[in-house]
Structure 1
Amino acid sequence: MAKEIKDELKDVLTRVVDSADGYENAAEDAKAGRFAVMFREKAQERRGFASEIRNHLTGLGEDVKEDGSLLAGAHRTFTELKNAVTGGSDDAILKEIERGESTLLKEYDDALEDIPSTDMAYGVLQRQRESVSRSLSEVKTYES
């Protein structure tokens, strides 16, 4: 069971790091200042999420670093964001962020299905998931 929890947490961690990176890229190239500020805040929030997940994994005996061993085989949720950002409009960036947030939300849902609600990680992931869901709703309100 602990192995399953570790694997689920690592999967979520990978997506959360991708999300933080995607938001940082978006902040650098957003045309509207309000979006740049929002994207930087989201990147910071996701870095905090990653730290929480890493701390939980460390408590389970995992040596987790944000390096190639964790991220090497990961599918990058925000890969397309880089293309949208380079020469793209804020609308294109928002659309790609929406896609990425939807993917991250699914990752949280999958993990929450597999992790017992009695495990400490469950509460952490549930709280983080709620924040991602709010972020997704917020991004949708900005789309034209």
Structure 2
Amino acid sequence: MTTSTKDVGVLNTLIATLLDSVEGYQKSAGDIANQTLADKFNARARERQSAVTKLQSAVAAAGGNPEDDGTLLGGAHRAFQSLREAVTGRDDKAIVAEIERGEDYLKAKFETALAEVDLSPTARTAVDDAWQSVRAGHDEMSALKHSMGG
């Protein structure tokens, strides 16, 4: 597998997972009763969309076709989240806990990508830049969950 093929595969996996994150934040912003949290979720969604755009540019630069849809797992995750919401209603604490769970998943995906030793310098820079958003979002949602007693 060439470096550019490897780059495209790694970056597209991260793009799909980030797209799930954008959608999750947007949906949660619409479902949560607390307007301050809704604003925070919408801001995080915009930040993640910016990270997606940068990763898509890196895929194109590597000669690949950038991912523009979420993951199949993300679809299953969204379906589960919808079912959970139907049962629990608009419970802010449950929504924050679900977001934090998604952040844990996203963080693990990025840690795996960061461990790749044969990414090109361009791909590595793109992953590192997106990692800043992911790490900040993870830490923020983890702290928020714990502050709510979760």
TM-score category (smaller protein)? 0.7 to 0.9
Percent of aligned pairs with the same amino acid:
22
Give the structure 2 partner of residue 107 of structure 1. 109
Equivalences for 1:28-47 in 2 at 5 Å?
28-47=30-49
List structure 1 segments (4+ residues) > 6 angstroms apart after TM superposition. none
CA separation of 1:31/1:24 partners in 2, compared to 1, >3 Å: closer, same or farther?
A: same
Q: How many residues matched?
A: 140
Q: CA deviation at 1:21?
A: 0.4
Q: Please say if 1:130 is aligned against 2:132.
A: yes
Q: CA deviation at 1:131?
A: 2.3
The 1-side partners of 2:73 and 2:45 are apart by 19
Post-superposition CA distance 1:102-124 (Å, at most 9, x none): 11111111111115465112122
**Greater relative CO (CA pairs within 8 A, separation 6+):** 2
* CA-atom RMSD in angstroms: 2.0
2:73 aligned to 72, 75, 90, which one? 75
Q: CA deviation at 1:81?
A: 3.4
Segments of structure 1 that go 5 or more residues without pairing to the other structure are: none
SS in 2 for 1:64: coil
The 1-side partners of 2:137 and 2:85 are apart by 19
Q: CA deviation at 1:126?
A: 1.6
SS in 2 for 1:101: helix
Q: TM-score with structure 2 length normalisation?
A: 0.83
Q: TM-score with structure 1 length normalisation?
A: 0.86
The 2-side partners of 1:132 and 1:75 are apart by 18
Quick check: 2:28–2:95 contact (8 Å CA) kept in 1?
yes
The 2-side partners of 1:7 and 1:54 are apart by 12
